[in-house]
């Protein structure tokens, strides 16, 4: 097949070779995107004069896996499922089970996965009470809400990474 020009597509898009009968409208429907999004991804391409064999870029909508707790994570360079499981204190099997559509050996930078809640039983020591992490919580916001300090929260929760809190995770909050 003859290509009128080769095209490097920007991130978030994929190349597509025009076939007979293709229009931006039909492609928008086929790829679950919009005509303006296709036009934006293809500056200089006249949608009224598409040619068979021409390569254009199709925007790919991010497809998020179902994630009841809403703990989404975007794959970064160098990530492995094993490392992600360790970072979020979940088992590798639970992580794979929460993301049935991914290939564990072919993670792609920018891919979004679901981090399941690791809810080990939390026994809070005397002078603290249990608290369940909600969307938007940080150790700082929790410390302010309960009139304590971030240092006190960290001390009461050894093994909890304050930079990777999960919705539904349980921690211990020191009594003010």
Burial of 71 (0-12, 13-18, 19+ CB in 10 A): buried
Provide the CATH number for the domain around residue 148. 3.10.350.10
Owning domain of residue 98: 72-114
**pLDDT tens-digit series, residues 81-114:** 999 988 888 888 889 888 877 888 888 777 778 8
Statement to judge: residues 23 and 51 lie in one domain: yes
Task: Answer whether residue 107 is part of any domain.
Answer: yes
Domain-embedded: residue 67: no
Query: 3-62 pLDDT, tens per residue?
Result: 444 567 877 788 999 999 999 989 988 887 778 778 878 888 998 999 999 999 998 765
The 3-class SS string of the chain reads: CCCCCCCCCCCCEEEEECCCCCCHHHHHHHCCCCHHHHHHHCCCCCCCCCCCCCEEEEECCCCCCCCCCCCEEECCCCCCHHHHHHHCCCCHHHHHHHCCCCCCCCCCCCCEEECCCCCCCCCCCCCEEEEECCCCCCHHHHHHHCCCCHHHHHHHCCCCCCCCCCCCCEEEEECC
- Of these ranges, 85-89, 160-164, 171-175, the one predicted with the greatest mean pLDDT is 171-175
State how far the Cα of 80 lies from the Cα of 74, in Å rounded to an integer.
12
Place of tokens 């160098």: 78
Residue 36 falls inside a structural domain = yes
| 52 inside domain | yes
In a domain, 119, yes or no: no
In this structure, the answer to whether residues 40 and 78 fall within a common structural domain is no
pTM summary value = 0.46
Per-residue tokens: 142: 């929790």
Domains in the chain: how many in total? Answer: 3
Q: Is residue 90 part of a domain?
A: yes
Residue 29 lies inside a defined structural domain of this protein: yes
Does 123 score more than 70 pLDDT?
A: yes
What is the structure's pLDDT at 120? Answer: 60
Whole-angstrom CA distances from 57 to 14, 45, 143, 169 are 5, 10, 47, 41
Instruction: Please report whether residue 168 resides in a domain.
Output: yes
């Amino acid at each position: 097949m003859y290509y009128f020009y080769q095209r490097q597509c920007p991130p978030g898009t994929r190349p597509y070779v025009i076939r007979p009968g293709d229009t931006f409208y039909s492609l928008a429907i086929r790829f679950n995107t919009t005509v303006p999004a296709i036009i934006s991804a293809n500056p200089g391409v006249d949608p009224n004069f598409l040619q068979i064999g021409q390569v254009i870029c199709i925007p790919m909508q991010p497809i998020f896996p179902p994630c009841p707790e809403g703990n989404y994570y975007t794959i970064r360079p160098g990530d492995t499922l094993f490392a992600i499981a360790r970072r979020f204190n979940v088992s590798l099997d639970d992580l794979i089970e929460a993301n049935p559509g991914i290939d564990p050996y072919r993670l792609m930078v920018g891919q979004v996965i679901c981090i399941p809640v690791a809810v080990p039983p939390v026994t809070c020591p005397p002078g603290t009470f249990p608290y369940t992490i909600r969307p938007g919580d940080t150790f700082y916001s929790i410390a302010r809400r309960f009139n304590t300090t971030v240092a006190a929260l960290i001390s009461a929760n050894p093994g909890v990474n304050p930079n990777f809190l999960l919705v539904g995770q349980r921690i211990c909050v020191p009594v003010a």
